[in-house]
Amino acid sequence: MTKLSVVVPCYNEEAVIDSFDREIRRVLDSLPVEYEVCYVDDGSRDGTLGKLRKIAAEYADRTRYVSFSRNFGKEAGMLAGLREASGDAVVIMDADLQHPPELIATMLDYHRQGHDQIIARRTREGDKKLRSALSRLYYRSVNRWVDVELTDGVGDFRMLSRSAVDALLSLPEYNRFSKGLFSWIGFDTVHFDYRNARREAGETKWKFGSLLNYAMDGLISFNNRPLRIGIWAGASLVALTAVYALWVAATALTRGVDAPGYVTLVAIIVGIGGVQMVMLGLIGEYIGRIYYETKRRPHFLVKESHGADVRPRPAAA
């Protein structure tokens, strides 16, 4: 029989974790699988860990959890969950019931047909207009720049086969941008659509600022092509300046001395200065990443666990 692991990163999810657990077990019990639910408490500051302890006491052999020493972020949470999971197939889902557990049945069908990554893609119905317009714009522009394909509406809700999970676990980088990594590993991938549900309780952990940072990660994580924007922008500016200088010289020669205003000069200096700053910032981003990678710090630290052997390892081996 297939063994299914459900990986659930939780950060301050006290308000929903019980109803999530009830739902997920109701669905899993109805499926012809063996299963385990692998929770990751991402350093919650509310009663999440206490609730996980109770759940683990009640369903000892079908529950694992690890609890981080502090908040390490959802990426680290997913990584810990994937290391925790022992199933032949692994589902990653949010604790807030925005990912309908019923869809696991559909995913399982696809898994049995031999697919390795089964991705539930949500439609943006019911999202805030501004947020979904911005996301669409982002995905459209980012896909021109990165090597992997990022699709709008595709989150982390998906089922992965054992080989896909092992592939992900073999990637040692410290900066993990999962959306990109999922796509980078390849394997036989299918998508299907579902309608997004409202968060059951508690509140979203994504502030606008963290979304912007996440967007930047997506741009920078997969290649160094953005560095080239600067090179081309700089080169075009130099070319424009040369043309302009020639034109000024030519008019001065043919029509006598005609000192152009300093405004043009200021514009050119500021323009070139701007390009240089953007470039320095970009180079700084990449160097910052190299700095983090070379430290080889583990992605997370565990303070407590149940049924799981998730010792932290160095980020890059």
Q: Which residues bind ligand UDP (CB under 6 A)?
A: 9-11, 13, 42, 71, 73-74, 77, 94-96, 98, 204-206
71 binds, among ligand UDP, Mg ion, none (CB under 5 to 8 A by kind): ligand UDP
146 binds, among Mg ion, ligand UDP, none (CB under 5 to 8 A by kind): none
Smallest distance, ligand UDP to C-beta of residue 195, A: 14
Smallest distance, ligand UDP to C-beta of residue 71, A: 5
299 binds, among ligand UDP, Mg ion, none (CB under 5 to 8 A by kind): none
Q: Tell which one of 2, 19, 86, 98 touches Mg ion (CB under 5 A).
A: 98
Q: Tell me how many residues contact Mg ion (CB under 5 A).
A: 3
Check residue 102 and report its DSSP letter: T
In sequence order, what DSSP letters do the residues of 150-172 get, joined into one string? --TTEEEEEEEEHHHHHHHHT--
206 binds, among Mg ion, ligand UDP, none (CB under 5 to 8 A by kind): ligand UDP
Asked if 89 and 2 touch (Cβ cutoff 8 Å), the reply is: yes
Smallest distance, ligand UDP to C-beta of residue 8, A: 7
9 binds, among Mg ion, ligand UDP, none (CB under 5 to 8 A by kind): ligand UDP
Site membership for Mg ion, residue 96 (CB under 5 A): yes
Q: List phi, psi (to 5°) of 5.
A: -110, 135
Select 210 or 251, whichever has its Cβ closest to ligand UDP.
210
Asked if 87 and 5 touch (Cβ cutoff 8 Å), the reply is: yes
Contacts of 144 (CB under 8 A, 6+ apart): none
42 binds, among ligand UDP, Mg ion, none (CB under 5 to 8 A by kind): ligand UDP
Select 66 or 185, whichever has its Cβ closest to ligand UDP.
66
Side-chain-facing half-sphere of 125: CA atoms under 13 Å = 8
Stretch that binds Mg ion, among 21-29, 86-94, 292-300, 307-315 (CB under 5 A): 86-94
Q: List phi, psi (to 5°) of 42.
A: -85, 60
Integer Cα distance of 163 and 18 in angstroms: 31
Smallest distance, ligand UDP to C-beta of residue 198, A: 10
Rounding to the nearest 10 degrees, give the CA dihedral for residues 209, 215, 221, 223: -140
Smallest distance, Mg ion to C-beta of residue 314, A: 31
If residue 195 lies in a helix (H) or strand (E), which one and from where to where? strand 189-195
Select 86 or 98, whichever has its Cβ closest to ligand UDP.
98
Question: Which amino acid makes up residue 156?
Answer: D
CA 98 vs CA 46, 93, 165, 178, 312: distances in Å:
20, 9, 23, 19, 29
Q: How many Cβ atoms from other residues are within 10 Å of residue 217's Cβ?
A: 18
Smallest distance, Mg ion to C-beta of residue 211, A: 13
Select 173 or 200, whichever has its Cβ closest to ligand UDP.
200
95 binds, among ligand UDP, Mg ion, none (CB under 5 to 8 A by kind): ligand UDP
Torsion region of 207: left, alpha or beta (phi above 0 gives left; psi -120 to 50 gives alpha): beta
Q: How far is CA 163 from the centre of its chain?
A: 20
Select 13 or 217, whichever has its Cβ closest to ligand UDP.
13
Interface with Mg ion (CB under 5 A)? 94, 96, 98
